[in-house]
Structures are given as C-alpha cells and as structure tokens.
Amino acid sequence: MTTELVSAYTEDGSALNEETIRRAGRVLREGGLVAFPTETVYGLGGDALNPASSKKIYAAKGRPSDNPLIVHIAELEALSAIVKKIPEAALALAEQFWPGPLTMIFEKSDLVPMETTGGLSTVAVRMPDHPAALRLIREAGGYIAAPSANRSGRPSPTLASHVYEDLAGNIEMILDGGHATIGLESTILDLSVEKPVILRPGYITKEEIFGVPGMEEDRVPAGLHKMSDKEDFHPKAPGMKYRHYAPKGDMTVLCGPMQRVAEALSELSRAASARGETVGILCSKETAERAGLSEAVLFSPASREDPAGIAAGLFEGLRRMDEASCTVIFAEGFPEEGVFIAVMNRLKKAAGGNIIHI
Ligand code: AMP
Ligand code: MG
C-alpha cells in the first residue's frame, strides 16, 4: 500500500484543509487507517467501533493485541454512548482538562468492540486539544481509536516524518500537523475502580488531577509508578508491561545533583568514545554547557527550568540517537516533580530501567 503524506492545513498554513480532512474521514469510515496530529503525540487512527479497523491498527504497529487503544472523541456528548456510567468526578475532570492530555478509563458499553479495548471490559477515552484531530474525529463518525503512531517499542512520534519512518506502506494516510506541542502521551486516570488511580503519568500532573472537586483526597497508592517497572506486575494499564521508547543503543539515565551529573556525563562519554563507541547524550542546555561534551552526539532541547520544553523534545531526541547510530546513550535524570515525573517515566522505560544514582 502507498501511504499518502499530506498537510492537514491549507498551503499558507492559515486554516485546516477541509477537503483533505473530509477525505481522511472517509478513509476511516471505510475501515482504513489514518495517522493524525494531536497535542500529545501523533495518533494512528481507525474507526473505534469497527473491530476490523482495530485489528489493522495492531497489525500496522506490530503491537500485542492485549494492549488496549484509546478512543478519541470530539464532544462530551459522545461519551455516554460508549461507557456504562459517567462518574461525577469525570464531568468535573472533563470540564477542566478536555480537550486536553487527560485519558479517563470507564466501564465500556456494548458499542465498543473488545478488539478496541484489548479484550478488557473497560475503555480509555480522551478528547484531544488539536483542531485537525477534532475535525477528523467528527468526519470519521465520532470515535477514533488511536494509539501512538509508532512501530511498537519505538519512541512515540512528535513529527509526521517520524510516523512516515515507522509506518509508511502499512497505512493509508498521514496528516501532517507539524510538531506535537506537548510531546508526551496523555496522563491516564482509571475511573472504573473505587479509588481513581493514575496508570500513566503525563503532562497533567497528579496534583492537578487530585485538586479537582470530588477528587480532593490523594488517592494514588504510594509507589504505583514504581510497581510498573517490576516484571511480575500485572498492570491495569496493560501497555505498561511492554518495552517502550527504546533506542537501539545501550542507554543509561544518570540521576543526582546537576554538577555531579554533568561531570559524570563528560567522564563516561569520554571513556566510551575511547572504547570506540558512538556516544549520544540527552540533557538540558545547562548540563550540556557545563559538561563540554564535544565528542558526543548531543541533543539538548531546553533548559532545566523549562520542563515542558524538555518533555516536548524527549522523543525526538531518542529518535535522533538512532539516526546517528549511537551505540551508547547517556541521559540526564531530573527531579521527579510535576511534568518531570512523566519525563522520568519515559526515560526509565527507554533505558530499560538502567539508572545510575550519583
Ligand atoms: P498509547 O500507549 O499512547 O498507544 O495508548 C494506549 C495505552 O492506553 C495503553 O498502552 C494502555 O496503557 C492504556 N489503556 C488504554 N485502554 C485502557 C484500558 N481500558 N484500561 C487500562 N489502560 C488502558
Ligand atoms: Mg504508545
């Protein structure tokens, strides 16, 4: 199959390309796959209510079929048809964070096929904050199932070219909407259980979520995010058990005071290049300046004072390491607060749990 890569916008970039998005909507309604931009990362979309489409998504990604998909909607009114009941807290959360990078999990209605939910009786739902995505969802009939548009195990795509790299030849169409502004997948909150639990940290922090009326108590069990790193952990968010985001090189995250991390980065990278390794480094601008890392492939998207900037460049950085054929990769660790919790979650997964505390 030939994959069409086409802009979601008009030539001068001033408006959505209505004709293109209508055509993409038709592809989806006919059971095809379209990758599309969202504010988090690019999604690989299929009709969420069509079991055959969901099967195609798993096949195109090479994704294990017990790893459920997120259903994307464009209006709050669309929610009631696909869930059994809407807890009150969900309405307060939707009011505050939708459209936006929060996914909520509910008991599913019969309308949602098991193929979409990876065999689960629950469904994950999100309303993305991106004009092209919202328009496409409406054109497609209201429900798009979409995991991140990468091959399974690869870093999530934050540019249309990343999607093309991973999925060209396997899907009908890619809508190019430029850079995904947030660059991290959504925060996932399970509302199908008595005590709501964050299953995946994201750009919306647990403080923000548990500050919403009806959610005041901090109900996240201590250590939940750490549990997911254990092999015997049988996760409620099934995707958590699979290897993720991993670049091809051997990756290590260095945690500790910034000055010490900078020193360790420069020592370790010098030693590795002396051994003949191609060294890649992912770090903040400050650390890059301190460490003087001339012999390494360096990717430093933003200042440490700008966690959102670090988050936005993270997956692109991981892909850059592969493009440069890095055999050894060092990443700067960050204090686990706010958005850095989600950044560290992705870094640890990319490193397969390889962390050094200095
Ligand atoms: P992504 O990893 O961005 O492709 O988004 C899909 C992720 O959403 C899966 O890997 C799961 O972790 C999570 N998810 C989707 N549906 C459910 C569900 N019903 N229950 C728990 N987690 C879910
Ligand atoms: Mg993913």
Please indicate whether residue 236, judged by its CB atom, sits closer than 6 Å to ligand 1: yes
The whole-angstrom separation of Cα 253 and Cα 57 is 32
Assign 222 a pLDDT band (cuts: 50, 70, 90).
very low
Domains and CATH numbers, the chain: 4-219 (3.90.870.10), 250-357 (3.40.50.11030)
Assign 310 a pLDDT band (cuts: 50, 70, 90).
very high
* Among the listed residues 235, 193, 177, 173, the one whose alpha carbon sits nearest the alpha carbon of residue 29: 173
Atom of ligand 1 nearest to the CA of 124: 16
Atom of ligand 1 nearest to the CA of 200: 12
- Alpha carbon distances (Å) from 186 to 39, 50, 145: 9, 23, 14
Residue range 230-244, pLDDT digits in tens: 433 444 555 555 667
Residue range 260-308, pLDDT digits in tens: 999 999 999 999 999 999 999 999 999 998 877 777 899 999 999 999 9
**Token representation of residue 312:** 């936005």
Q: What percent of the chain has pLDDT over 90?
A: 85
Instruction: Among 67, 148, 225, name the best residue to mutate to test ligand 1's pocket (greatest count of ligand atoms within 8 A of Cβ).
Output: 67
Residue range 127-168, pLDDT digits in tens: 999 999 999 999 999 999 999 999 998 999 999 999 999 999
**Token representation of residue 328:** 């050894």
Q: How far is the CA of 29 from the centre of ligand 1 (A)?
A: 23
The DSSP line for 44-56 is: EEEETT-HHHHHH
**Token representation of residue 341:** 């919790």
30 CB-near residues (< 8 Å, 6+ apart): none
Please indicate whether residue 301, judged by its CB atom, sits closer than 6 Å to ligand 1: no
Residue type for position 114: M
Task: Share the mean pLDDT of the chain.
Answer: 92
Q: How far is the CA of 301 from the centre of ligand 1 (A)?
A: 27
> What are the residues whose beta carbon lies below 5 Å from ligand 2 (ion)?
148
Q: How far is the CA of 131 from the centre of ligand 1 (A)?
A: 23
C-alpha 289: how far from chain center:
29
Please indicate whether residue 238, judged by its CB atom, sits closer than 6 Å to ligand 1: yes
Q: How far is the CA of 302 from the centre of ligand 1 (A)?
A: 29
Would you say the C-alpha torsion 63, 8, 80, 217 has a positive or negative sign? positive
Q: Output the pLDDT for position 238.
A: 52
The DSSP line for 104-166 is: EEEEBPTTS-TTTTTT-SEEEEE----HHHHHHHHHTTS-EE--BSS-TTSPPPSSHHHHHHH
Rounded to the nearest 10 degrees, the angle between the axes of helix 160-167 and helix 307-323 is 40
Q: Do the beta carbons of residue 47 and residue 26 sit within 8 Å? A: no
Instruction: Among 117, 188, 349, name the best residue to mutate to test ligand 1's pocket (greatest count of ligand atoms within 8 A of Cβ).
Output: 188
Q: Output the pLDDT for position 319.
A: 96
124 CB-near residues (< 8 Å, 6+ apart): 68, 69, 70, 71, 103, 104, 105, 117, 188
Pairing label, strands 144-145, 173-176: unpaired
pTM of the model: 0.92
Q: Output the pLDDT for position 234.
A: 40
Q: How far is the CA of 77 from the centre of ligand 2 (A)?
A: 26
